[in-house]
A and B are shown apart, each in its own frame.
Chain A
Amino acid sequence: GIQVEQSPPDLILQEGANSTLRCNFSDSVNNLQWFHQNPWGQLINLFYIPSGTKQNGRLSATTVATERYSLLYISSSQTTDSGVYFCAGTSGSRLTFGEGTQLTVNP
């Protein structure tokens, strides 16, 4: 079956700090997405990144498909970055989420 593992489970930062979140996924995963879930529960698409590197403002992501991992980089973190970050892998029509990284950014 599909396996998606995220680390770390929790991360506390001071505003302005940088961070790296990691996602390992199994062979059956074909594509990868990163989401941010805000405190109100809304899942916001960050990246659809089966391979390579993408950047969007202070966020960037890299997926190395041959080694089955993806990294999400957050630079110059802000309090509004707080929430849960999920990576999710697709296999067929199934999207399977990792357990998430709970990020808290303190002012």
Chain B
Amino acid sequence: DTEVTQTPKHLVMGMTNKKSLKCEQHMGHRAMYWYKQKAKKPPELMFVYSYEKLSINESVPSRFSPECPNSSLLNLHLHALQPEDSALYLCASSQGGEETQYFGPGTRLLVL
């Protein structure tokens, strides 16, 4: 099974709201990732967790707060977002290092 699941599929939030995106994998992968994808652009890496520890933060604003409660789960907490943060947020997992990454279906976020 190479499935990564993400919830919710769609999210609309105001600039003062707090919300969370969730990602889950049951492939025994040790690395999990968050990407952001704007329309007609490629995905861009935001965060990397390896063995449940944050290993890469690509200078993402603090209004995005990642969390890895265990090796199967990855959350992205959102607070005080801006309209320009509207995008498709993709989660991925892999065995780590430079191994194949498998992507979830994404959460389409609209910030009003």
Contacts and interface: CB of A to CB of B under 8 A. Distances in A.
The finding on whether chains A and B are genuine partners in a shared complex, rather than unrelated, reads: yes
Interface of A: 30-31, 33, 35, 40-43, 45, 48, 86, 88, 90-100
Contact of B88 (A31, A41, A97, A98): A41
Contacts of A96: 45
B97 A93 contact: yes
Interface stretch (B66-74, B78-86, B99-107): B99-107
Q: Decide if the interface of chain B is mainly helix, strand, loop or mixed.
A: strand
Interface of B: 2, 31, 33, 37, 41-45, 48, 50, 55-56, 88, 90, 92, 96-98, 100-103, 105-106, 108
B42 A98 contact: yes
A93 B50 CA distance: 9
B42 A33 contact: no
B18 to A, nearest CB: 24
Contacts of A90: 98
A33 B37 CA distance: 18
Contacts of B88: 41
B45 A95 contact: yes
Contacts, number: 53
B45 A94 contact: yes
Contacts of A42: 103, 105-106
Contacts of B90: 41, 43
Contacts of B92: 95
Contact of A95 (B2, B50, B101, B105): B101
A39 B100 CA distance: 22
B98 A92 contact: yes
In the complex, the 6 A-B pairs of residues with the closest C-beta atoms, listed nearest first: A97-B42, A43-B103, A90-B98, A48-B100, A31-B98, A41-B106
Contact of A41 (B56, B97, B102, B105): B105
B106 A33 contact: no
